[in-house]
Structure 1
Amino acid sequence: MRLPPGRAAWSRVWEALRPFDPYRSVKAALGALVIGSVIITTLLVFVAAHSDTELRIITIFSIIASLLITQFVAHGLSAPLDEMTEVTRAMAHGDYTRRVRAAERRDEFGDLATAFNRMAADLEAVDTHRKELVANVSHELRTPIAALRAVLENVVDGVSEADPETMRIALRQTERLSRLVEQLLDLSRLDNGVVPLHARRFEVWPYLAGILKEASMAKSAASDPRAGSHSRKDVHLNLDVFPPDLTAHADGERLHQVVANLIDNAVKHSPAHGRVTVRARRGDGAQSLELEVIDEGPGIPEAERHRVFERFNRGGPKAAGQGSGGDGGTGLGLAIARWAVDLHGGRIGVAESPRGCRIKVSLPGVDRDQG
């Protein structure tokens, strides 16, 4: 906003006078201290010269007055430094939430405190990002590890043979683990907006069918009583793609993160013998895609719908993505899904549903300029 000419001129004059304002300049405050001490001493000497008061008494009063003024000014100047020292010690012990109140001052210490608080906020953001990265990695690796464990346990227990098809499933999970390790490191560059997308054209039916097969194996692994989880073998997964030859244009691995996390959340919140449906339809643009994951659980309260996609939001037991009962998870599933959808330039949100929860994902496909 541009200031009127009169106010702009006055602002320039006021800024030019800053070195002489003791409230806005440390040098001016020190100068005022010296001038004040000299004036007091001069007045006391003048009083001594025109009265019967001895000079030594005047000298003592002069020294006491100067010390009091100096102590008062010094305390005001050193208080911000003491506060910064205390906050720095707290930061050294891992507490990045502390801030310096001296930022409200108008002098150089206020400017220093403002810069200090900005630095503390940046350090806090870096520390939070580091913790989120570790939690993201743990969350994303859990599903393929569970699926791989289920395949290997079935082979060891004699439930299935170690035939080429079974080994191919195990190999796919191992390859997916390798890709996830590389791709989750991209989260460290998320804030800079430099995470790459490797979009391609693919057929939707076989792609989603593979994800549902992996999710079924993960459900079997989660039902192992040794894992301490509730059995979810009773939840039925359904795929609804129309038309059957539907194609889309997106990054397969990123979209896998979206669908796998949405299915995982839907399974957690499904009732006994419930049904989870993954529905795919053609969107408005070229090779665009409309995805929906629908469950029959308790749904998401309307007041929570704007928060379920936040990281570490574990909410109540009815909030999707937070687990049921004591299985609250890490509160990252839907946050990762939103991140991957945003990376495509798409939209994700909670849609209205007469029963359960319906999460809707819209991917734009190919831009007309690129097509």
Structure 2
Amino acid sequence: MRPLDSFRSFKVKLGVLVVAVVSVSALLTWVGLRAGLEPILAIPLVVLIALVFTQLLARGMTSPLREMTGAARAMARGDYTQRIHASSRDEVGQLADAFSTMASELEQTDRMRKDLVANVSHELRTPVAGLRAQLENIVDGVTEPDPAALSVALAETERLSQLVDHLLDLSRIDAGAIELDLEEIELTPFLHEVVDGAALAPGARGVRWVIDVEPPGLTTRADAARLHQTIANLLDNATRHSPPGGRVHVSAARTATDDGVRIDVHDEGPGIAREDRDLVFERFQRGGGSDTSGGTGLGLAIARWAVGLHGGRIEVIDDPRDELALEGRSSLIRVTLPDAGPRPGTRTGALDVVRTDGPDLGY
């Protein structure tokens, strides 16, 4: 029984407690004197009964504070699993709820930190191990330092460099703000330049590229470096999931409302499941399943951040291929940029990834 839990104010509780204890003490004193008890016996008895009554009435008022003290000590030792249970609705109860929420968020943050360290360690180990093995073979004479062997070492070095660049971008994301250098970009030569760079990657050999910009002179106002980074990450993702000899289609056009520009990247891979369309834009996620394509799981997360800087959105939309559309899978990613981006110095923000039905692209 916690009779004071119904009160929503701790001050009211204290007032009720004081009034109740004083009233009971006065009543007991009057009864004792009327019964003929000596004051030397009546006063200690009244004090004892008043203390017991206070404990019963005030039960639960301070127990959340004691729990929070114990939980704070546990959190100092790295244990974030402690939760505070408070039945009252006053300030102490609200504090207990806020403390439990904070503990839950700290537990999640600590888990994400551990996952980040584990994932980064794993991603760094793979190219470093490959590069070390190749160089050891060359030094020991097992492998001749011919162009083929050196190209393998170069590929691992480039993979390591890409991962480091991605981690630097993550640090910029966590910093929360970045300057944008907005300029008018003509998309036809710009997309050709990005595709030419993507075609040089080792995994892009044999991939066929199709670029379609309508109208050919279409322009958009954006930060060229960030937009290049976004499209390059999308193309890297597309080539890694394309079958041998597959086609990657890059298209750009005005949005249906003519107030922005959309850029689509579509490959012929197995596609992303409907339930994983949001997940792929999270850090170190690869579509909710096992992925042996060699990606770091950071490219799409960084692409979402870069698009968000421009006030745009990135989304996985329904695939125009009927066989994948029926299964709810899609390999079509769309970037939508507003006609005019935010002013330089805009703070980065969380980007809502939404799902929409895409139009028939006619291929």
Is the structural similarity TM-score above 0.5?
yes
Q: Tell whether 2:193 aligns with 1:206.
A: yes
Equivalent-residue separation in structure 2 for 1:142 and 1:278 (angstroms): 33
Give the C-alpha shift of residue 158 in structure 1. 0.3
Over residues 318-341 of structure 1, what are the superposed CA-to-partner deviations in whole Å (9 max), with x where a residue is unaligned? xxxx525xx796654433332222
Count the aligned residue pairs: 319
Equivalent-residue separation in structure 1 for 2:250 and 2:259 (angstroms): 19
**Equivalent residue, structure 1, for 2:96:** 113
Quick one: percent identity of the two aligned structures? 37
205-214 or 354-363: which moved more? 354-363
Equivalent-residue separation in structure 1 for 2:27 and 2:267 (angstroms): 87
Q: Tell whether 2:280 aligns with 1:308.
A: yes
Local SS of the residue matching 2:281: coil
Contact 1:99 1:117 in 2 (8 A): yes
Compared with structure 1, are the counterparts of its residues 40 and 275 closer, same or farther at alpha carbon in structure 2 (3 Å cutoff)? same
Q: Tell whether 2:228 aligns with 1:241.
A: no
Compared with structure 1, are the counterparts of its residues 238 and 27 closer, same or farther at alpha carbon in structure 2 (3 Å cutoff)? same
**Equivalent residue, structure 1, for 2:175:** 189
Local SS of the residue matching 1:308: helix
Q: Tell whether 2:24 aligns with 1:40.
A: yes
* Amino acid across the alignment from 1:187: I
Compared with structure 1, are the counterparts of its residues 144 and 259 closer, same or farther at alpha carbon in structure 2 (3 Å cutoff)? farther
Compared with structure 1, are the counterparts of its residues 174 and 60 closer, same or farther at alpha carbon in structure 2 (3 Å cutoff)? closer
Contact 2:124 2:160 in 1 (8 A): no
Equivalent-residue separation in structure 1 for 2:230 and 2:12 (angstroms): 60
Give the C-alpha shift of residue 312 in structure 1. 5.3
Q: Tell whether 2:332 aligns with 1:362.
A: no
**Equivalent residue, structure 1, for 2:253:** 282
Over residues 26-60 of structure 1, what are the superposed CA-to-partner deviations in whole Å (9 max), with x where a residue is unaligned? 45444444443333333333333344666666456
Of the three residues 306, 309, 320, the one matched with 1:343 is 309
Larger relative contact order (C-alpha < 8 A, sep ≥ 6)? 2
Equivalent-residue separation in structure 2 for 1:196 and 1:258 (angstroms): 16
Local SS of the residue matching 1:46: helix
Give the C-alpha shift of residue 237 in structure 1. 1.8
Give the TM-score, by structure 1 length: 0.62
Compared with structure 1, are the counterparts of its residues 88 and 169 closer, same or farther at alpha carbon in structure 2 (3 Å cutoff)? closer
Local SS of the residue matching 2:269: coil
Compared with structure 1, are the counterparts of its residues 116 and 186 closer, same or farther at alpha carbon in structure 2 (3 Å cutoff)? same
Equivalent-residue separation in structure 1 for 2:155 and 2:296 (angstroms): 27
**Equivalent residue, structure 2, for 1:295:** 268
Contact 1:96 1:120 in 2 (8 A): yes
Equivalent-residue separation in structure 2 for 1:101 and 1:275 (angstroms): 57
Structure 2 regions of 5+ residues with no counterpart? 325-329, 344-363
Compared with structure 1, are the counterparts of its residues 199 and 52 closer, same or farther at alpha carbon in structure 2 (3 Å cutoff)? closer
